[in-house]
Chains A and B, each alone.
Chain A
Amino acid sequence: MADSRNRGQRRSRRASSFQQYKALLLKDLRQEIRTREMLTSMVVYALLVLTIYGAALAQVGDSVDVVALAGGLLWALIIFTSLLGLNRSFSHETESGCLEGILLAPVDRAVVFLAKATSNLIFLAVVELITVPLFFLFFLSGAELATTTPMMLLPLAVGTVGVAGVGTLLSTMTIDTRGRDVLLAILFIPVVFPLLYACVSATSVAFLGIEGTFGTFWTSLALAGAYDVIMIAAAWGLYEFVVDA
């Protein structure tokens, strides 16, 4: 086996970056479908947070306008749930040194980043598909919602992309550190704060639907979009240094 005639033929077939991206992404999806580790823990955590919200809001009755707080509550739920998922996103890669196995191959490190960020984005989106309707059902079903409420999907989408991109970079940086769960939170929340602030602002405007405030909505959305572009481009460029360090 492994005769030299086949060797040359084999070596001449180089994978394209897209093929490598597809292989990395499908591997992550296949693993998650099989184990459901990340999705289960994120959904269960999100449900617990919703329960705590419910208990806290039940104490104050009608004295608090839930709609005015909804943007902040929703984003706190998303950020803390995503932290849990991001902490787990590299657990399979580090268990048996699999990340090294990937880095041994002629794969552009930026492709590794992009594939991992995409899988994190998909998992976050799935969790949001479950938890956001529940959030509406538990806290906003009795409230009078503005007609602009569906516009909250825009900051939700832009914010989730940013969280997945920045979170992937930071979770890679903390892979081999002691107390990585805590360290990731300490790094992640300050770094993602400008995005969080912009998304909370845009989501709140969408929920409240007050005329004359839509300038704030679009400005916040533009800031969140600019944050995504800058941070993901930086993460793309920095990833090689992070994984090869």
Chain B
Amino acid sequence: MAAGTGQGSLAVDARGLVKQFGPRRALDGVDLSIPSGAFLSIFGPNGAGKTTLLRILALLSRPTRGSLSLLGTDALDEPDALRSRIGLISHRSMLYGDLSAQENLEFFSALYHGEPDRVRIRELLELVELDHRRNDPVRTYSRGMQQRLSIARALVNDPELVLLDEPYSGLDPHAAELFDELIGRVREGRTFIMVSHDLEKGFDLCSHVLILARGQVVVCAEKAGIDRAAFRELYLATVGMGVA
């Protein structure tokens, strides 16, 4: 089942995605259509293929088979053209602990723009409220602060498609709330795809939902047409299916 087809331009259009690791098939014919500006939450049991799917969407891994178009561009033929339009926030901060926030952002900005975009970096540090700690080594930051800084890192190239891989992992409730607030502030004009085990939070944030199990799409639909309780039951039944 595809979500959001026929609603303007598609941020993600995947057909028959298969990812094989030796004898194990992590993704088994995934079809996915997500309109631009949507917020998709991906749920599923451990080993369902969620992170594999997200890594393919982040262009960190190539599918074994299938076609993938991101932001209207063929992702398998022109990955380099797309990389500057995609950002990833993971449970791992992707930040160098011995460098300061400013140095980390300057480094990642230089990879995209050649010279660090210092105006953008200042804006981002202000956005994530870490401007006052800009020169401190990242290893001195709390987990919540590191995750806020990783939002800034992911936005340094001003991406249209933002991927979130278990972003709440290791965050206390207050830090998770701050994280949600930040995501809300940068949501305009971007498409978000989030992998999460937190059903309530994932359901609240999203406009579209996807449940994966055994590498296959169980359900992919707009949230508006789904009853929360029924979805919860379906999710729990899916988790009970375990993995391949």
Interface residues of A, Cβ cutoff 8 Å to B: 1-2, 4, 6-7, 10-11, 13-16, 19-20, 22-24, 27, 30-31, 34-35, 92, 95-98, 100-108, 244
Contact = CB atoms under 8 A, between A and B. Distances in A.
A103 B153 contact: no
Contacts of A13: 113-114, 117
Given A2-B189, A31-B98, A107-B111, A10 B93 contact: no
Q: Kindly name the residue among B93, B103, B112 whose own CB sees the greatest number of chain A CB atoms within 10 A.
A: B112
Contact of B110 (A1, A10, A23, A244): A23
Contacts of A24: 111
B94 interface: yes
Given A101-B153, A105-B84, A19 B110 contact: yes
Nearest to B190: A2
A98 B114 contact: no
Given A1-B127, A19-B115, A27 B96 contact: yes
Contacts of A6: 158
Contacts of B59: 104
Given A31-B96, A98-B94, A101-B94, 12 more contacts: A10-B157, A11-B85, A13-B117, A15-B110, A23-B107, A23-B111, A24-B111, A92-B98, A96-B96, A101-B108, A106-B84, A107-B111
| Closest 7 pairs (CB-CB, A-B) | A97-B92, A101-B94, A23-B110, A15-B114, A19-B114, A105-B111, A106-B83
Contacts of A101: 88, 94-95, 108, 153
Given A15-B112, A20-B111, A106-B83, A96 B60 contact: no
Contact of A34 (B58, B81, B98, B115): B98
Contacts of B127: 1
B93 A15 contact: no
B87 interface: yes
Given A14-B84, A244-B62, A96 B92 contact: yes
Interface of B: 58-62, 80-81, 83-88, 90, 92-99, 103, 107-108, 110-115, 117, 120, 123, 127, 153, 155, 157-158, 186, 189
8 contacts: A20-B114, A96-B95, A101-B95, A101-B108, A106-B81, A106-B84, A244-B61, A244-B62
B108 A105 contact: yes
Given A2-B158, A2-B189, A104 B117 contact: no
A211 to B, nearest CB: 53
Chain A binding surface, main DSSP class: helix
Given A31-B99, A105-B83, A97 B114 contact: no
B58 A15 contact: no
Contacts of B90: 97, 100
A46 to B, nearest CB: 23
Nearest to B90: A97
A104 B186 contact: no
A106 B98 contact: no
A104 B58 contact: yes
Q: Kindly name the residue among A24, A30, A98 whose own CB sees the greatest number of chain B CB atoms within 10 A.
A: A98
A106 B112 contact: yes
B120 A10 contact: yes
A163 B98 CA distance: 27
Contacts of A105: 83-84, 108, 111-112, 157
A35 B90 CA distance: 26
B77 to A, nearest CB: 14
A19 B108 CA distance: 12
